[in-house]
Amino acid sequence: MFQGQVDGDPQARVYRPSPAGDPDETGLTFAESEKYRELADSVPVGGIIVGVGTARGNASVIQVASARRAFAQFLAMCARPLPIAHGIHATAVVSDDAWIDPSAQIGAYAVVEAGVRIGANSRIYPHAFVGEDCIVGESVSIYPGAVLYRDVTVGDRSIIHANAVVGADGFGFVWDGTRQQKVPQAGRVEIGSDVEIGAISAVDRATAGATRVGNDVKIDNLCQVAHNVSIGDHTVLAAFVGLAGSSTVGKNVTLAGQTALADHVHVGDGITLGGRTGVTGDLTTPGAYLGYPALPYREAARVLVATNRLPEILRRMRDLEKRLAAFEAAATEPKETE
Amino acid sequence: MFQGQVDGDPQARVYRPSPAGDPDETGLTFAESEKYRELADSVPVGGIIVGVGTARGNASVIQVASARRAFAQFLAMCARPLPIAHGIHATAVVSDDAWIDPSAQIGAYAVVEAGVRIGANSRIYPHAFVGEDCIVGESVSIYPGAVLYRDVTVGDRSIIHANAVVGADGFGFVWDGTRQQKVPQAGRVEIGSDVEIGAISAVDRATAGATRVGNDVKIDNLCQVAHNVSIGDHTVLAAFVGLAGSSTVGKNVTLAGQTALADHVHVGDGITLGGRTGVTGDLTTPGAYLGYPALPYREAARVLVATNRLPEILRRMRDLEKRLAAFEAAATEPKETE
Amino acid sequence: MFQGQVDGDPQARVYRPSPAGDPDETGLTFAESEKYRELADSVPVGGIIVGVGTARGNASVIQVASARRAFAQFLAMCARPLPIAHGIHATAVVSDDAWIDPSAQIGAYAVVEAGVRIGANSRIYPHAFVGEDCIVGESVSIYPGAVLYRDVTVGDRSIIHANAVVGADGFGFVWDGTRQQKVPQAGRVEIGSDVEIGAISAVDRATAGATRVGNDVKIDNLCQVAHNVSIGDHTVLAAFVGLAGSSTVGKNVTLAGQTALADHVHVGDGITLGGRTGVTGDLTTPGAYLGYPALPYREAARVLVATNRLPEILRRMRDLEKRLAAFEAAATEPKETE
């Protein structure tokens, strides 16, 4: 919980967090800038968390050292985990050869196959499928409909969102002259601790060895991590990011939405890739990049601006050509007349 | 049903709609242009719906005022909803604290949690998960494997396709110097009436307040709607569209495939965005846009054309430079010789 | 199995395939180039498959005619299908009006509707949904959570990965002035033999007739195949490929990641499309293409390179303009002074 100085009705009750500008007489919002304060004051709201020394407007305010941090604490109070029955639901199909910690919870219609281990306080939600020999750590959440094929390890406190798929066959085929021969995919997937994998995202298993997702990696919805990819600790993937086979991403990398890496390329530690970047060769110098193929960010931004000026560039080019041609003609004519 | 003048065998039976050009002796197709008429006549087909005054060719024809409208009526006759058992299937797990209208149908292995309300004539298909406190209106269809986390409201006649996920955690993290701290996601999702959400699409719940999808919004497969996004009525999203956090889209907007909005940007009413548009700043003037960053459509089309002429532009530039250099050299030389 | 000349301990046991460079004392890897041989030798490993005449280094080697082929054979030995119970699991809900070959296996909580046929040796994994009148051939695998709506045919030996959706409504709406009218989707889907559909990919059913996926087509994760699309035999789609309504793709086509086809366009046999290509008009001449709009590959590569030189092009243009203006000024002045 957080503490602050109330300027308004100290008995007032608030029931939920509200975004600034949403009318909600029993909601609590926050404002750390003039713009958001105006937005928050423009509608009825139960209270506003503000910085120390900020005056009351239409609504009661709570003055705190950091409005953002206090609001995050209030959010944490209000966000409850998705409910799940205690113990193993009567309808869950759990193999006799699986080991489930007594404190773990297994929801309705979940399927847990042979050789699986589920650690303390983990939650396997309804319709989740945990395939043969998967090792799930402690305090892990596997949301409804998520599928772990087999030989997938998931570290402590990681979260796999609904309908995500971990461990499907890597995409490998060889054209033999008459048909696409499937390259067997015999590897596994290793997911670190404190990882979050978004809804409807896919992490394929390796051809041999492991596809590796480091600790504290955060993957948004609808991402694709192909076979034998390796992702370093603390790296963040926004929606629609695609990492092709055997590409490697370092630590603390940020990949903005729709960014794609070609197969086997490497992106080094601490690099940031802007929206829709396409990486076709290794990037090792720290910094931000953008574009397809990727360029250092400021250069790429100049390219984007210049690209949109291309029709103008063409006009100027034609003008130059006309003027130079006239000049050349003029320069030639006098000589002939001389 | 529709009525028209039959030119051919009035006893002929047709069993299904056919696309023009597909051979199907008991199929009924339509042709509103010369091109499609030729296509339809090129194969055996049970009948062709045509405009008034169009002559018979190889197949029987039915003359109607609007061939397209009549064919749509025939399609509607032939399209049946996916079957589902009456009432609540014996295997469905429905919380005692849920309220299900007696006319609603709940399929095999569906899970309906506490606090849920399901309105009249709604269909919750097998393996669907409807989480705590979700409010589902009347005549709603939630197809197999779709997941509603919790606190999701769905308006009347809306359709959630298979394996779509509504209400997963918004993607919010703050780097605290040692790890990616999760920003708790305590909000909800409000889906309007007559909405369609495509297979394998995701709509995240808000950090606080609601992610809002207006009435009559149509979302294709594999789309991503992030936390706190707002989408106005009648707006259409084609496949792979991504709306980043807190972006807002007005009414009657069309977003073509692979289009993306950066976080917090606004796209105003009635705007059309062409395929793969990338919006990085607000667009408020009505009209069509294209490109990354987005430009007015005709300008962007000129940019695309000019971009593909860049190698030619480079050649012309080098030519200009050579000619101008020669000219400058010539202009300098004479002076020296004078 | 494969045979070769062992140079090292002939009694040594290896248990699994390893990628070159992964330390694994009971793993077997392969090296067909100097680079991979060095990588393989840099860590402890149980053995290395090498070409004939390649000397032993740190690890035992097995000399074979083709190291790659031998390793693929070893992979095939090690890759086992995901386990599934024999026969029909007690919890599967199978319609009395479905026909299941006695050798087929149906997993826990799978749902098989009326009119379905499942061929010999096919495997329907847990939580899969096979809708009314679907015809599934022999030796087909339908992985956990995959959904086949209805009227879907799947040819022999095809694989549908987890949470893929086949047969959802095509995306068709007509704006009638007040709302988006749904165009009924009354068609079906025909999937050929030896097809692989990746995890979380979608193939929509046709408006009328069929959406067709040819034989030996390989579709990666997170792809979208819209209504009435047709894909020819042996064609390969990498992740995030989107084929809009009624587009047609020939045989032996390769579509790299994030490539998109506009509706109704055609891409002919044997064509290769590079990463993120956007096809807005028919491509019929064989060859490789790239870019948006698509250009022949070498031309498109030159465009990409030239695009990233645009800021330089602008500078050179400004320089030309300045020099030409100076020249024009100089050319005019003398005349006035004469």
Structure confidence by residue, pLDDT tens digits, C167-212 = 999 999 999 999 999 999 999 999 999 999 999 999 999 999 999 9
Find the mean pLDDT for residues B158-164: 98
Q: Which chain B residues are closer than 8 Å to C127 by Cβ?
A: 109, 127, 145
Of A16, A144, A218, Cβ closest to residue B180:
A218
φ, ψ of residue C292 to 5 degrees: the values are -140, 105
B186, A17: Cβ pair inside 8 Å? yes
Of A22, A127, A234, Cβ closest to residue B127:
A127
Cis status, amide bond into A293, omega within 30 of 0? yes
B185, A17: Cβ pair inside 8 Å? no
3-state secondary structure of A30: strand
What is the reported pLDDT for A102?
97
**What is the residue type of C153?**
T
Span A16-74, pLDDT tens digits: 999 988 999 999 999 988 888 999 999 999 999 999 988 888 889 999 998 988 998 89
What is the reported pLDDT for A335?
52
Contact A231, A211 (CB under 8 A): no
What is the reported pLDDT for A330?
83
Contact B74, B86 (CB under 8 A): no
Long-range contacts of C61-68 (CB under 8 A, 24+ apart): C61/C6, C61/C7, C61/C8, C62/C4, C62/C5, C62/C6, C62/C7, C63/C4, C63/C5, C63/C6, C63/C7, C64/C2, C64/C3, C64/C4, C64/C5, C67/C30, C67/C31, C67/C32, C68/C30, C68/C32
Of B161, B314, B324, Cβ closest to residue C169:
B161
Q: Which chain C residues are closer than 8 Å to A111 by Cβ?
A: 107-109, 126-127, 144
**What is the residue type of A239?**
A
* Contacting partners of chain C (3+ CB pairs under 8 A): A, B
Give the DSSP letter of residue C123.
E
Decide if A89 is catalytic. Answer: no
Complex ipTM: 0.94
Q: Which residue of A has its CA nearest to B296?
A: A308
Q: Which residue of B has its CA nearest to A85?
A: B113
What is the reported pLDDT for A34?
87
Helix (H) or strand (E) holding B248: strand B248-249
What is the reported pLDDT for B338?
43
Contact A129, C126 (CB under 8 A): yes
Is the pTM higher than 0.90? The answer reads: yes
Q: Is the pLDDT of residue C84 over 70?
A: yes
Find the mean pLDDT for residues C68-83: 90
Residue A140 pairs in a beta bridge with none
Q: Which chain A residues are closer than 8 Å to C331 by Cβ?
A: 327, 330
What is the reported pLDDT for C329?
87
Mutation target to probe the A interface, by most A beta carbons within 10 A, among B142, B147, B229, B266 is B147
Mean pLDDT of chain B: 94
B216, C316: Cβ pair inside 8 Å? no
Q: Is the pLDDT of residue C3 over 90?
A: no
What is the reported pLDDT for C111?
98
Contact B291, B309 (CB under 8 A): no
Token reading at C299: 């031309």
A198, B202: Cβ pair inside 8 Å? yes
Q: Is the pLDDT of residue C1 over 90?
A: no
Mutation target to probe the B interface, by most B beta carbons within 10 A, among C109, C176, C180, C258 is C180
A186, C320: Cβ pair inside 8 Å? no
The residue annotated as part of the active site, out of C86, C161, C227, C264, is C227
Contact A279, A296 (CB under 8 A): no
Contact C32, C19 (CB under 8 A): no
B183, A75: Cβ pair inside 8 Å? yes
Distances (CA, A) of B89 to A118, B279, C78, C93, C94: 30, 46, 41, 11, 13
Q: Is the pLDDT of residue B337 over 50?
A: no
Q: Which chain C residues are closer than 8 Å to B91 by Cβ?
A: 91, 93
What is the reported pLDDT for A329?
87
More confident residue, C334 or B77: B77
Span B252-308, pLDDT tens digits: 999 999 999 999 999 999 999 999 999 999 999 999 999 999 999 999 999 998 999
The residue annotated as part of the active site, out of A227, A234, A264, A266, is A227
Find the mean pLDDT for residues A146-173: 98
Q: Is the pLDDT of residue B118 over 50?
A: yes
What is the reported pLDDT for B330?
82
B186, A75: Cβ pair inside 8 Å? yes
- Give, rounded to a whole angstrom, the gap between the first and last alpha carbons of chain B: 95
Span A177-231, pLDDT tens digits: 999 999 999 999 999 999 999 999 999 999 999 999 999 999 999 999 999 999 9
In the Cβ-directed half-sphere of C45, how many Cα atoms lie within 13 Å? 31
Q: pLDDT exceeding 90 applies to what percent of chain C?
A: 80
Helix (H) or strand (E) holding B28: strand B24-30
Q: Is the pLDDT of residue C76 over 60?
A: yes
C335 confidence band (pLDDT: 50, 70, 90):
low
B83, C310: Cβ pair inside 8 Å? no
d(C-alpha C34, C-alpha C48), whole Å: 13
Distances (CA, A) of B81 to B77, B137, C147, C209, C228: 11, 18, 15, 17, 19
Q: Which chain B residues are closer than 8 Å to A143 by Cβ?
A: 147, 149, 168
